[in-house]
C-alpha cells in the first residue's frame, strides 16, 4: 500500500476557523492503481490532490505514504514521494524537452543541480516510455498541447515517485490525444508500477481506464468504488448523466 489516509480532512485553514471541503476520508492507494477523481467544479478535487502532494496542509486526520506519517515530511521527502502534473503547462521559456524533464531530477541533484550519469539514464528511460526520444532538443514552447503534456508527465516520472497526482491532465487535449494519454497511463501503471490519481471531467474515459473511482457527489458525499459498473450508477444518480 502506497498511500493510506485515516479520517482525513482537507480544505482551507482560516484564522477564524477551518473550512473543510472533504471530511473523514479513509482511503488507500495500492501499487499500479489508476484512480479517477470525479466531481463538480469547486467540489474539492484540486484541494484533495494538493493535500495528497503535500502542497496544502491537511486540516485533521492522518496521511501515510509508504507507511510514514507525512506530518514529519520535509519538502524534499514530499518531492521524492509524490509527483505532480497540472492541466495547463506553464510558460517554459527557452527550455528544451530534455532540459524540462531534467527538472524532475532536482530532488536528487546537489546544490547546483548538476546531472550525473544516473540522472541521464533515467531521463532517457522516461523519454523512451513517453515516446519523446526524437523530441529531446525541441523547445517545449513550440510543441503541441498533447506533446507538451507528455513532456510534463515524463518530468513527473523522472522524479521517480511511487505516486503521481494529475490535476485534469487531459483538459486541453483533443479526443484522440485523451485516449492515447489514458492508454499510456494504463501501460505505465502496469509495467512501471506507478500509481496515479487524476481528476477529470471525462466520465467515459475514466470509466474505461481507471482501476478505482473517487466520486465527490452532491453535498460532498465521497464515494470510493472499485467497480466501474457501480461507479457509473453513482455518477448517474449524483450528476444525472
Binding interface with another protein (CB under 8 A): 53, 55, 74-76, 78-80, 82-84, 86, 90-95, 98-100, 103-104, 106-107, 109-115, 117, 120-121, 123-124, 127, 133, 136-137, 139, 141-142, 159
Distance CA 215, CA 197 (A): 12
Cβ proximity to another protein: between 115 and 234 the closer is 115
Cβ proximity to another protein: between 80 and 179 the closer is 80
Q: How far is the CB of 141 from another protein (least distance, A)?
A: 3
Q: How far is the CB of 162 from another protein (least distance, A)?
A: 14
Cβ proximity to another protein: between 42 and 93 the closer is 93
Cβ proximity to another protein: between 34 and 123 the closer is 123
Name the DSSP letter for residue 30.
-
C-beta of residue 135 within 8 angstroms of C-beta of residue 97? yes
Cell output for 153: 508527465
C-beta of residue 111 within 8 angstroms of C-beta of residue 191? no
Cell output for 66: 509508504
Q: How far is the CB of 50 from another protein (least distance, A)?
A: 9
Cβ proximity to another protein: between 35 and 53 the closer is 53
Q: How far is the CB of 40 from another protein (least distance, A)?
A: 22
Q: How far is the CB of 112 from another protein (least distance, A)?
A: 5
Cβ proximity to another protein: between 115 and 207 the closer is 115
Non-local (6+) Cβ contacts of 187 within 8 A are: none
Using CA of residue 113, residue 114, residue 116, residue 122, what is the dihedral sign? positive
C-beta of residue 228 within 8 angstroms of C-beta of residue 51? no
Distance CA 185, CA 172 (A): 17
Task: Round the CA-based radius of gyration of the chain to a whole number and report it.
Answer: 18
Q: How far is the CB of 184 from another protein (least distance, A)?
A: 20
Name the DSSP letter for residue 44.
S
Amino acid at each position: 500500500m502506497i498511500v493510506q489516509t485515516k479520517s482525513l480532512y482537507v480544505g482551507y485553514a482560516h484564522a477564524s476557523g477551518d473550512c473543510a471541503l472533504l471530511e473523514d476520508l479513509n482511503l488507500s492507494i495500492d501499487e499500479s492503481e489508476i484512480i479517477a477523481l470525479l466531481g463538480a467544479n469547486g467540489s474539492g478535487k484540486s484541494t484533495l490532490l494538493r493535500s495528497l502532494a503535500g502542497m496544502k496542509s491537511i486540516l485533521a486526520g492522518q496521511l501515510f505514504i509508504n507507511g510514514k506519517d507525512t506530518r514529519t515530511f520535509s519538502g524534499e521527502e514530499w518531492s521524492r514521494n509524490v509527483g505532480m502534473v497540472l492541466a495547463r503547462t506553464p510558460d517554459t521559456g527557452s527550455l528544451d524537452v530534455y532540459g524540462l524533464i531534467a527538472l524532475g531530477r532536482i530532488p536528487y541533484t546537489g546544490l547546483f543541480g548538476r546531472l550525473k550519469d544516473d540522472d541521464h539514464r533515467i531521463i532517457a528511460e522516461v523519454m523512451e516510455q513517453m515516446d519523446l526520444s526524437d523530441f529531446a532538443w525541441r523547445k517545449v514552447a513550440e510543441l503541441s498541447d498533447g506533446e507538451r503534456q507528455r513532456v510534463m508527465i515524463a518530468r513527473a516520472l523522472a522524479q521517480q515517485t511511487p505516486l503521481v497526482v494529475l490535476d485534469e491532465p487531459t483538459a486541453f487535449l483533443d479526443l484522440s490525444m485523451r485516449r492515447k494519454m489514458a492508454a499510456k497511463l494504463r501501460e505505465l501503471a502496469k509495467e512501471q508500477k506507478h500509481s496515479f490519481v487524476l481528476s477529470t471531467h471525462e466520465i467515459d474515459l475514466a470509466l474505461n481506464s481507471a482501476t478505482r473511482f473517487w466520486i465527490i457527489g452532491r453535498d460532498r458525499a465521497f464515494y470510493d468504488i472499485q467497480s466501474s459498473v457501480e461507479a457509473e450508477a453513482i455518477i448517474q444518480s449524483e450528476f444525472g448523466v
